[in-house]
Every structure is written in C-alpha cells, then in structure tokens.
A and B are shown apart, each in its own frame.
Chain A
Amino acid sequence: MSAQASVLFDAPGPRARVRYRIIAVVGAIVLLAMLAYFVVRLADPANNQLTAEKWLPFLTPTAWTAYLLPGLLGTLVAAAISVALSIVFGLLLGIGRLVEQRWIRWACGAFVEFFRSVPVLMMMLFAYYAGLYGLRISGTALPLFGVVVGLTVYNSCVLAELVRSGVNALPAGQRESGLAIGLTPLQTLTTILLPQAITAMLPSMLSQLVVILKDSALGSMISYLELLRSGSYLATAFANLIPTLIVLAVIYILINSALTRVAGAVEQRLRRGPRGVVTRPVTAGFVPEPAAEPDVPPTIMPPRDDRPGRRR
C-alpha cells in the first residue's frame, strides 16, 4: 500500500521512507501507550477487572446456555422478523412513491419522510406503550412487538428510499421501452424496473442488515431480552460488567463484520457481472454506508461509446 502512489502521496524516495518509518515508530508508541493506560486502569487493584474470576465465567457452559445464547437468539429473532417485514413494507412504500396516482405518491412520501426522521428508540417506546395501552398485548410478546415495530417502521422507510433511488438510477429507455410495447406503467415498474433496481440494491440491503442488528440492542430499553440485556443479567450475576461488555462487543463485531464482508462480496460480483443495465450499486444517500467507496474513474477522459451511430 505504502509503495504505490496515491492521490495524496507520491511514491516515496529514500528520505521519505526514513520519515515514514520514524512516524510509524512514534505512532506505534503513542498507540501502545494509550492501550497500556487502559490495561493498567483495568488491572488497578481498586478496579481489578483483569482477575481470572471475572473472565472465567465465560468458559463455563452456564454463562452461555443461561445468558448469552438466549440473548443472541432474541437479537436474531427480532432482527429476522424485522428484516422480513421491512422488505415487504419497504417494497410497497417504494412502489407507492413511484406510481402514477399523485395522492398515493404523496401519502407514501410523507410517511417515509416523517418516520425516517424519528429516532428508532422513540418509535420503539411508542410501539411498546401503544401495544400495552392500545392493543392490550401482554407478556413476552409486548417487548418483541415494540422492537419489531420500531425496527420495521424505520427500515421500511430506508428500503423504500433505496427502491426509489434504484429505479431512478435506471436509464430512461428502460421505462420508455416498457411503455412502448404496451405495458401499463405499473406493469413496467414491477416487471422491468424493479427487478433491475433490486439487484443493484442488494449490497445496500445487506449493509442495512448490520444496522438492524445493531439497532436491535435498543430493545434492552423496553425490556426485550436480547444480547445486551441478557449480558447485563450475566454481569449482575458474576459482577463483571466490563468483561461482559467486551465479550458482547466481540460477538456483535464478529457477526456484523461477517455481514459486511458478504455485502462487499455481493457488491464486487455485481460490479463484475455482465447482466443488467446498472453497473454500479445504488445507495439512498442517507444510509451511513459501511463500505462506502465510490468508484474512482481511472482516467478523467469520458469513456468510449461503442454504440453504432455515436461517433464523436
């Protein structure tokens, strides 16, 4: 990486290489000092977070069967239900924003714009209390209802926006030729535009899975038994809050980085693949992209146009 020229740095000569090495040594010392500070703070007899008794519980089966695995199951169940519902409602809302009828378009647009701005935690709290007082849901179904509604409403809006930007990124000729062979606008949308848009959306949808998994941790606030909440029970039982939070973080990071990697692989495949008109994946902008690396054109010259009759 350091050998090849980037947009910021030319290929280093002998003096620059010495300078880089000095910076590397200084940087490594600073980073190690920061790490050492935290390790010392953790090992400090007053805190005593590095003793074996705080970490050994994670090697016993009880910690996993009684706490962590049920919590992980709760997280995955909530995420899976929300993903399935979000895809359905997201597609419906996205189609709603693209149809001919103006009032449907406006209604779906207003819904998406409003609920996109509402924090997921607020939506969960509202759904929880609405389920409690309005729908009279009781027992363990209530927190699950709150989590799923909160996640679904927000992520449907995100997906709707992805669908819309995916369809809008298609060349106008796709829609025009669909209409020209006699399909209705809705048929054109569902049989020609959407399949292509959804293919291009796949990486973004997969990255959204990471967001859903992370946001499901908010369910601990409305007493839904997911990974963070079961972890806090474990921390109370073994009096090891910091080790537990670190183990939880590792579990989340492993799952989410695996998902991110899958999204990246799909993106690569789409970029290589010959099918479809859209060659680059679409994003709806406001999704904080886990792997946002825009295409850097290899040259500033416009690409050659090989279509017949397009001589410049």
Chain B
Amino acid sequence: MRPTDISVPDYFHKVVDCQWACPAHTPVPEYIRLIAAGRYSEAYMVNWVSNVFPGILGRTCDRPCEPACRRGRVEDETPDGHGERKAPVAICRLKRVAADYKEDIRHLLPPPAAQKNGRRIACVGAGPASLTVARDLAPLGYEVVIYDGDALAGGMMRTQIPKFRLPEEVIDEETGYVLDLGVELRGGQYVSSLKNLLGEGYDAIFIGSGAPRGHDLDIPGRKEAAKSIHLGIDWLASVAFGHTTSIGKRVIVLGGGNTAMDCCRSSRRLGGEDVKVIVRSGFEQMKASPWEKEDAMHEGIPILNNLVPKAFTHIGGRLTGATFEKVRAVFDENGRRSLIPTGEPDAHFDCDEVLVAVGQDNSFPWIERDIGIEFDKWGLPKVDEATMQSTVPNVFVGGDAAFGPKNIIWAVAHGHQAAVSIDRMLNGEDIAQRPAPQTSLISQKMGIHQWMYDNAISADRRLRVPLRDLSAALKNIKIEVELGFDPQLAFQEAQRCLNCDVQTVFAAKLCIECDACMDICPMDSISFTVNGDEEDLRQRLSAPALDKSQDLYVSDSLKTGRVMVKDEDVCLHCGLCAERCPTGAWDMQKFLFETTYAGPACRNAGSAPPLPETPPPPAPEQPPKARRKPKPVPARDQQTA
C-alpha cells in the first residue's frame, strides 16, 4: 500500500466516527470534553455553530452518530468478565446537557448584520432547514424572509414532535436565536405560488417546506368511520396546537416509524388507556429508532408485528375496530421483502380511534409545473446533492422537501450547504466548487505522562437518562418525560468518550522500530511488517483488520524496509503508543474538522460581498414584532436580567 496521506482532511475525519456519520459533521468529541469540564456554554456554542438547534437535537435527534460510535465496537465484556455489551456513548443526551446547563449565551451569538448587503433571500417553510439558511446568511448582511403557514417558527419540530419530548420553551429559545439575527418571519403566510414568489424579485429562494402530507390507508371502512380515523402527523399537529385534547380509551396506532411512536405515546397522555401499535413489518425491521420503541413499551404500549390492516370495522359509521391479516416476511436474494400471508385466521382488535402513521409524502401543489422546476418520478424536485440547487438556478431545496422525509440533522446539513451555494452564487462564484473544510492538527503533549485530554479509558457502562415517574409523566402531555443527565451523570457518561479526534500521528523518520508501541497497544492495532496490497496486509497484522470500512494507516518505509501499519478500527486513542515511544515517533494530535459555512471563508475571493451599485433605500426601522411567544428565554435568564 502507498503511505497514507494524513493531510487529506477526510482521512482523520473518518477516524472520528461520530463526526463522520453526522450529516452536519458536528465535532462531537470536542464538545463532550467541554461538557466533562463543566464548560457547558462553550459546549453549547460548538453545537450551535454546527447544528443550530442543540437543545432540540439533544432531545430528538435521530443520532446517526451513535451507531457509528467506536465505543460500540470496542466494548465486549462487562468489567467482571461476564456478559456482552456494546453501547455507544450517549452523545445525543450529552448534547442536551450542554443546552440545559449553559449560561446565557446570547452575547456569544453573532450580532445582526450592521449593514445589509442588499441581497434578499426568501425561505419557504420555517422549519430547521430554512432556519439554518437564515442563521448562516443573515449575519452576513442578507435580508432573509421566512414564510410559513403557521404563526410560529419551528416547522415539524413544533407541530409534530410531542411536547413531552420537546418542550415548547426549547423551541422558542432556539428558533428565537435565529430570528434575533435580523431574520423576518412572515408567520401565517402560506406560500401558494412559487411563480408569484419568484416574481417578488428575491435574489434566491430556499424551499424548506418539509414533507407535510401523511399517507392514508385506503381500505374498507376508511370513509365510513372517517371521524374516528386520523392521519398521524395531522393529529400530532392538532395536539400541538391544542385543538385536540382527548382521545378514545382504546386506540390503535398503525405504522412502525417514529411518528407512530409519538402518536401512541401522545394517546396515552390524552386519555388512551388501551393503546397499541400494530405494524406490518417484524419488530426488528420497524423504522422507528430502537430507543423510541423502548420508550413506547416502557409506557405500557404493546407493539404487535406482522399484521397487515385489511379493513376498519364499524357499526353505522361508528368505529368498532380493525381487522388484520397475519403475515410473515420473506426476503428474496436481493434483500427485498415481501409479506406472505400465514394462512391463519385474521385478527380483529377492538378500538375507539385509529391513528394512521404509515409514512409521509412531499407535497408541492404550490409549485407550478411550468416555471422550470423539474420533478423526478417520485414527485420530488430534482436537486443537486452537493449544492442543493434545483433546476432553476436561484431556487434551492433542502430538508425533507429535497429528498423525502429524513430528520432534523439532515435538514440542518442541507441548510448549511444551500447557504454556501447562495453566498457563492450571489458573489459570482461557481457553486459546484465546494469550499474545503477547515482542519487543524495540534499536539496534545504537555509532559512525559501529561496530555491535554483525559486518556484513561473509562470502564463504565452506558448510563441511562433518568425519567420522570411514569404515572406523573402520563398525566400531562406537556410534562417532559426525560429529566436529562445531571452534571454528575453527564461527567461520568462524557468520560466514556474515547476522544477519537485525538489522533495517533506517526512520523516514520523518527521510528527506531523498538516494538514498544506494538507491545503496549491494548487493541493490537499496530503492526510492523513488510508492505503488501491492502487485502494481503489486512490478513497478516497483529490482529486481523476485518472491518473494511475502517482504514489502515500505513507509514513510509522504515529503516528495516518494513512499514508501520495501524488498523484504525478499534483504536482506543488512549495514547499508550505515544507514551511508550522513546523517540516521539508517535504523537497524539487533536484533529479539529470544521465545515466551512457561508461567508468569506467559503468564497474563493474570500472578501466580503460587494454592495450592489445602487444600494436599496434603507429599510424603515421596524418595531420588534411578536415573532414568538412572549417568553423568549429560560426563566433563569430573566432572573439575572
């Protein structure tokens, strides 16, 4: 193999599995160390810069980082040597700790632009994608206007996520930070025509309108019993706005995704006593995150699998239940699933109300088909995956509106990229060319045994987030069920982080091949051997390197003609190789990877955007509008004020 080029940003970025897996590439180990140090405000700001909604994501994120976490690959037995365990660091809930325990961070946020640059940007939908675009562009001087059919900002974060998971104050606070940057929210103004919006002369338009339409189930009885059958996301929105405050005693939730989990748990809080989730697929194949299934079951909600809804039963339009066909899943050689009836008699479940949460769709009735926006065969606009540009050059699309329903963190990632595209485009630069990330690599050595990070490996198991007592939690849909880690638990959990961003950096010319690093490495990650091709090398290292998604770090040729090969897969980043190295050939260096956001850094020219020749007349001083609920900041901030 050729020597590894560690100057390529992706090489070390990939080693930081959590950050690599995060769509927004949040520097996870960086903020976890800050949490461990009790520096919550700084931890919050690391998050805010990267993912805009730390408090919201710390409660609701889909956590692509956690399955990627190296901790889940290296743990395999309990300290007493019995039993298996493989648990990632509780990254998501640590993020919430930063949000919960931070001080007033408003002075750390960028101020609204002192001078507008004359460019006007419209965002359709006030969800996470649009708010991210606004957050990135407004401080640069762009005039950002956000349109939304709802009065308040937040989009699905406000309308679909139940308040017992995400309290309203958190949404108010974090959407508020964005709006306070001088962003104009035109709440209650549903955009019904993109053509008209294009006609308003915006320099760029960002579509972040989400995937607002729930799938329906067209089976017998649906129409007749319609008043007791609700679409999941519409029902959740109705609950969020306070229009729906109760539900029947017996509720069936159809569907196996996270929306279904929110529906059933909400039902339990609105009077549902016998609530069950009925799913076509098997338990393992359900789309819901494992922890959301766990939470639902914890609240006494059974999940019944392999049942396909056949008909709603009713007596003269009064819903009595639903009938299901029993099936089993069969997978063909391509891994495609088909559900084969088992031939057993159909099952019938009595109920008073049904919530249908079997998926959601995009919906673009407001985009005229003759204005140049092309759609693909699934009815989604054609969007470039890197630039987020649609087929109309100054229209960009992101979040669920771009590639179908995903999650908040993807919406944020799309928003950042769209903002970069808009900033480059309006500065006359090629948007296909993407700005390089900003990286740094800094030695962590302070003394012979001293590092600027905690390199002792914690043997603790993953800690559970304390929950509110179930009977209290089920009484009120607005009471948050998770209490969050307290500082002590947060410290303990944070110490489980392996600091994968503190990289093992090897300097071949200093190596004397004493084997000290190889001997001390607890994970047998280091080998000194004759070079070969990758396939061959992977088999004959100190321990076989079986995970091909994890790179091999290959050095230049050493004095004996051999090379050092390190398998990055299960490295603990404990730094023992560097502590044992007599010549400093190994060093522990912190790799910080930061995505480049809109602004001078993302442009080739690097300069501030030039003002247009004829500056527009200064906007009249606007009185502060009630853009959000009157309690914009947490209570403790008000006390200090």
Say if A and B assemble together. no
Q: Which residues of B contact A (CB under 8 A)?
A: none
